[in-house]
C-alpha cells in the first residue's frame, strides 16, 4: 500500500506542476504545430514520398510526419522532465524523494511514469488539433497508438532521467539540447523516410537505424495504422530498459560522489 | 538506553579530499546531541551519509537497530530530516507540502490529515496550515519542515544547520521547539556551527576536519567552560 500511495503522490505532484506551468504546456504544443502547419507546407513540395509500409497509398507529407511529431512532443517532454529533475536536485526536492523509505528504482520509476503521463497528455491534445486540421486516423489507430506512445514516452523519459543523474547544474542543460535532442530528432525517421536518407547519405542512414528514437517513431507510425512493428517494439523496449538501468545506476548513493552539493547538501 | 543512531568507523572522501575520517558515535534515545563544527568540518557530508544519500567506505550506520546499508528502508523509515537547504514547494500550501511528504511515507487520507494537524499544532503552526509557503517567513518555513519531518513518527531527527539565515527570535523558537521533542523520546542530531544554540544538558560532538575531536555530555566535554571560547580554542578560531 505504501508504494502505491507514494507513487500516486509523485504522479499527482508532477501533473499539478505541469498544469500550473502554462507556458510549458503552450511551448510543448506550439513546437510540433509549427512543424505541422509551416514546415510541412514548405517541405511538401520538396519531398516526394513513395509508398512505404505501413502506408498503402500515396500520402501527404503532413500525414507522414504526424507520428514523428508525436515523438517530438514526447522527446521534448522527456527532456523537460529531466530538466525539472535537475531543478529538483538544485532545490532539494530530489533529496526529499530519495530519503523516502522506498527502493530507489521504485521512486525513479514513479517519477518516470509521472513524466510519461504528462507527455501523453500533450500528445493527446496535439492529435486533437491535428484532427481538427484534417489529419484523421481511424479510431483503432488512435487506440493502438496509446500503448506505443506510452512506451515511447517511457523510453525518452528514462533517457532524460539517466541524463539528469549526470547533469549537476541547470546551466549545463543547453548541452543536452545540442547533443541529445537535436541529433536524436533529425537523425531519425520523424521527418524523412530512411530510404530517402539512404540515397543521399548512407552513413547518416546507418546512424538513423541505430537511433532508438527512430524505432520509437516507427512503432508509433505502424500502430497508427493498426499494425505492430515487432523490430521497433523490441528496440524500444530494450532502449527503455538500458536507459532506466543507467538512471538507477546514476542515482545510486555510491555514484553521487561529486561533493556534498551533488547530494543536495552544502559544505559544512 | 537504546541508541537511536550508532555510527561506527565511518570514513568518506570527495575525490582526493577526505571529508570524514573514522567517525564513531552514538545518540541515545531521547537525547539532544549537538554536532558542532566550523564550516567545512564535514557536518553536511555526515548528514548525507546518515540519510543514505551517499554511501560511506568504510563505515556502518545503524538507525533504531536497522543497518542503513543492508536494510535502508527500515532505517530511513525511522529518520526525520531537515536539510540545510530548504526543501519546499513554495507554490503549495503548508498542508499540501506535508501531504506530499506523508504520502512518500505511506500516509494518506484521514491518517495523514490527523498527523499533519498534530505535527503542525506541536510546532505552533496550526493556524498557517492553509497558507502558501511563499507567504511565510523563513522561521515559519523552517518550522513547517520540522513538523513535516515528524509526520511518520521517526525515532531520530536530523537537522543540518536549521537556523542558518534566521533572526534571533526565530532561532530561539526553533531551538526550543526541537529541544522539547526529546521529552517524547525523540533523539535529535543537530548540526550547527553556532555554539549559542547549545544547552548545558545537551550531548556534544565536536567535528573538525572530518574527525571527531571530542564527544560526551556538554558540561563534561567543555570542562564547564563557556562553549563559545572553548569551541574557538578547539578549532583554532575556524568557527
| pLDDT for res A197 | 77
A264 domain residue, yes or no:
no
C-alpha–C-alpha distance, residues A139 and A226, integer Å: 10
Q: Which residues in chain B are contacts of A268 at CB distance < 8 A?
A: 37, 39-45, 84, 160-161, 191, 193
Query: Shortest Cα distance from A147 to chain B (angstroms)?
Result: 28
Contact between B79 and B47 (Cβ < 8 Å) = no
| pLDDT for res B22 | 92
Of the candidates A35, A36, A63, A70, the one whose C-alpha atom is nearest the C-alpha of residue A49 is: A63
Of the candidates B228, B203, B238, B215, the one whose C-alpha atom is nearest the C-alpha of residue B33 is: B203
Window A:91-150, CB contacts with B under 8 Å: 91-93, 95-103
Give me the count of residues in chain B: 239
Cα Rg, chain A, nearest whole Å: 19
C-alpha–C-alpha distance, residues B65 and A237, integer Å: 41
Neighbours of B129 (CB within 10 A): 17
Q: How many CA atoms lie within 13 A of A143 on its CB side?
A: 4
Structural domain boundaries enclosing A98:
2-253
CA-to-CA separations, B132 to B89, B92, B95, B144, in angstroms, rounded: 9, 5, 9, 11
Query: Shortest Cα distance from B3 to chain A (angstroms)?
Result: 20
Residue with cell 539517466: A162
Q: Which residues in chain B are contacts of A111 at CB distance < 8 A?
A: none
C-alpha–C-alpha distance, residues B204 and B199, integer Å: 10
Which of A13, A258, A268 comes nearest B40 by C-beta? A268
> In 3-state terms, what secondary structure has residue B25?
strand
Q: Give, as one character, the DSSP assignment of residue B209.
A: T
Contact between A149 and A220 (Cβ < 8 Å) = yes
Report residue A256 as a C-alpha cell.
553521487
Which of A13, A20, A99 comes nearest B100 by C-beta? A13
Contact A254 B54 (CB under 8 A): yes
C-alpha–C-alpha distance, residues A194 and B105, integer Å: 49
Contact A101 B193 (CB under 8 A): no
Contact between B83 and A92 (Cβ < 8 Å) = yes
Q: Which residues in chain A are contacts of B36 at CB distance < 8 A?
A: none
Contact B89 A263 (CB under 8 A): no
Contact A103 B73 (CB under 8 A): yes
> In 3-state terms, what secondary structure has residue B22?
strand
A34 domain residue, yes or no:
yes
Which residues neighbour B135 within 8 Å (Cβ) at sequence distance 6 or greater?
none
Neighbours of B86 (CB within 10 A): 18
| pLDDT for res A20 | 76
Ranges in chain B, pLDDT < 50: none
Query: Shortest Cα distance from A177 to chain B (angstroms)?
Result: 27
Q: How many CA atoms lie within 13 A of A104 on its CB side?
A: 22
Q: Which of B10, B54, B67, B95 to mutate to test the interface with A (most CBs of A within 10 A)?
A: B54
CA dihedral sign, ordered B90, B94, B96, B97: positive
Pairing of strands B203-208, B66-67: unpaired
Of the candidates A169, A2, A160, A179, the one whose C-alpha atom is nearest the C-alpha of residue A82 is: A160
Q: Which residues in chain B are contacts of A19 at CB distance < 8 A?
A: none
Give me the count of residues in chain A: 268
H, E, C per residue of B125-166:
CHHHCCCEHHHCCHHHHHHHHHHHHCCCCCCEEEEECCCCCC
Please list the pLDDT of chain A residue by residue as tens digits (268 residues).
578 899 999 988 888 888 777 777 788 788 888 888 888 777 766 666 666 777 777 778 888 899 999 999 999 888 888 888 887 877 778 888 888 999 889 999 999 999 999 999 999 999 999 999 988 999 999 999 999 999 999 999 999 889 888 776 666 667 777 788 889 999 999 888 887 777 778 888 899 899 999 999 999 999 999 999 999 999 999 999 999 999 999 887 654 444 444 444 334 4
Pairing of strands B66-67, B60-63: antiparallel
Window B:79-138, CB contacts with A under 8 Å: 79, 81, 83-89, 91, 99-101, 103-108
A266 domain residue, yes or no:
no
CA dihedral sign, ordered A231, A235, A240, A241: positive
List, in sequence order, the alpha helices (H) in B21-93: 43-50, 72-76
| pLDDT for res A253 | 67
Does this complex have an ipTM over 0.95?
no
**CB burial readout A234-250, b (16+ within 10 A) else e:** ebbeebbeebbebbbeb
Contact B15 A99 (CB under 8 A): no
C-alpha–C-alpha distance, residues A186 and A208, integer Å: 9
Split into its structural domains, chain A has a count of: 1
Cα Rg, chain B, nearest whole Å: 17
Q: What is the layout of strands, in order, in the sheet containing B3-14?
A: B17-28, B3-14, B60-63, B66-67
C-alpha–C-alpha distance, residues A231 and A234, integer Å: 5
Query: Shortest Cα distance from B184 to chain A (angstroms)?
Result: 23
A262 domain residue, yes or no:
no
C-alpha–C-alpha distance, residues A224 and A66, integer Å: 10
Amino acid at each position: 500500500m505504501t508504494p502505491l500511495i507514494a507513487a500516486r503522490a509523485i504522479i499527482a505532484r508532477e501533473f499539478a506542476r505541469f498544469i500550473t506551468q502554462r507556458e510549458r504546456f503552450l511551448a510543448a504544443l506550439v513546437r510540433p504545430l509549427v512543424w505541422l502547419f509551416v514546415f510541412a507546407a514548405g517541405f511538401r513540395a520538396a519531398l516526394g514520398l513513395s509508398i512505404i509500409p505501413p502506408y498503402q497509398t500515396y500520402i501527404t507529407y503532413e500525414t507522414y510526419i504526424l507520428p514523428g511529431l508525436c515523438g517530438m512532443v514526447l522527446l521534448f517532454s522527456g527532456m523537460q522532465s529531466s530538466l525539472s529533475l535537475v531543478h529538483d536536485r538544485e532545490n532539494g526536492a530530489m533529496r526529499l524523494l530519495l530519503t523516502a523509505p522506498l527502493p530507489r528504482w521504485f521512486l525513479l520509476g514513479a517519477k518516470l511514469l509521472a513524466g510519461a503521463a504528462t507527455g501523453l497528455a500533450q500528445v493527446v491534445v496535439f492529435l486533437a488539433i491535428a484532427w481538427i486540421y484534417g489529419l484523421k486516423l481511424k479510431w483503432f489507430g488512435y487506440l493502438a497508438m496509446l500503448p506505443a506512445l506510452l512506451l515511447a514516452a517511457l523510453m525518452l523519459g528514462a533517457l532524460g532521467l539517466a541524463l539528469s543523474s549526470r547533469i549537476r547544474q541547470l546551466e549545463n542543460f543547453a548541452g543536452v539540447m545540442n547533443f541529445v535532442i537535436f541529433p536524436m530528432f533529425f537523425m531519425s525517421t520523424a521527418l524523412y523516410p530512411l530510404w530517402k536518407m539512404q540515397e543521399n547519405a548512407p552513413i547518416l542512414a546507418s546512424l538513423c537505424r541505430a537511433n532508438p528514437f527512430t524505432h520509437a517513431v516507427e512503432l508509433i507510425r505502424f500502430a497508427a495504422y493498426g499494425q505492430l512493428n515487432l523490430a521497433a517494439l523490441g528496440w524500444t523496449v530494450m532502449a527503455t530498459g538500458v536507459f532506466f538501468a543507467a538512471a538507477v545506476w546514476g542515482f545510486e548513493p555510491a555514484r553521487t560522489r561529486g561533493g556534498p552539493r551533488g547530494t543536495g547538501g552544502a559544505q559544512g | 538506553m537504546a541508541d537511536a543512531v550508532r555510527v561506527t568507523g565511518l570514513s568518506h572522501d570527495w575525490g582526493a579530499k577526505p571529508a570524514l575520517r573514522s567517525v564513531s558515535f552514538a545518540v541515545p534515545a531521547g537525547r539532544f546531541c549537538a554536532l558542532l563544527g566550523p564550516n567545512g568540518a564535514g557536518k553536511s557530508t555526515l548528514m548525507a551519509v546518515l540519510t543514505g544519500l551517499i554511501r560511506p567506505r568504510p563505515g556502518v550506520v545503524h538507525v533504531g537497530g536497522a543497518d542503513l546499508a543492508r536494510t535502508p528502508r527500515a532505517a530511513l523509515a525511522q529518520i526525520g530530516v531537515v536539510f540545510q537547504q530548504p526543501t519546499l514547494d513554495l507554490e503549495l500550501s503548508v498542508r499540501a507540502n506535508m501531504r506530499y511528504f506523508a504520502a512518500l511515507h505511506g500516509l494518506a487520507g484521514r491518517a495523514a490529515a490527523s498527523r499533519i494537524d498534530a505535527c503542525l499544532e506541536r510546532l505552533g503552526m496550526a493556524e498557517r496550515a492553509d497558507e502558501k509557503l511563499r507567504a511565510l517567513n523563513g522561521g515559519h518555513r523552517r518550522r513547517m519542515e520540522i513538523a513535516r519531518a515528524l509526520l511518520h513518527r521517526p525515532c531520530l531527527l536530523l537537522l543540518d544547520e536549521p537556523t542558518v539565515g534566521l533572526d534571533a527570535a526565530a532561532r530561539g523558537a526553533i531551538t526550543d521547539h526541537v529541544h522539547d521533542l526529546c521529552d517524547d523520546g525523540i533523539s535529535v542530531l543537530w548540526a550547527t556551527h553556532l555554539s549559542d544554540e547549545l544547552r548545558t544538558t545537551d550531548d556534544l560532538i565536536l567535528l573538525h576536519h572530518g574527525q571527531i575531536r571530542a564527544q560526551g555530555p556538554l558540561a563534561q566535554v567543555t570542562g564547564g567552560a563557556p562553549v563559545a571560547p572553548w569551541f574557538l580554542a578547539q578549532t583554532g578560531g575556524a568557527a
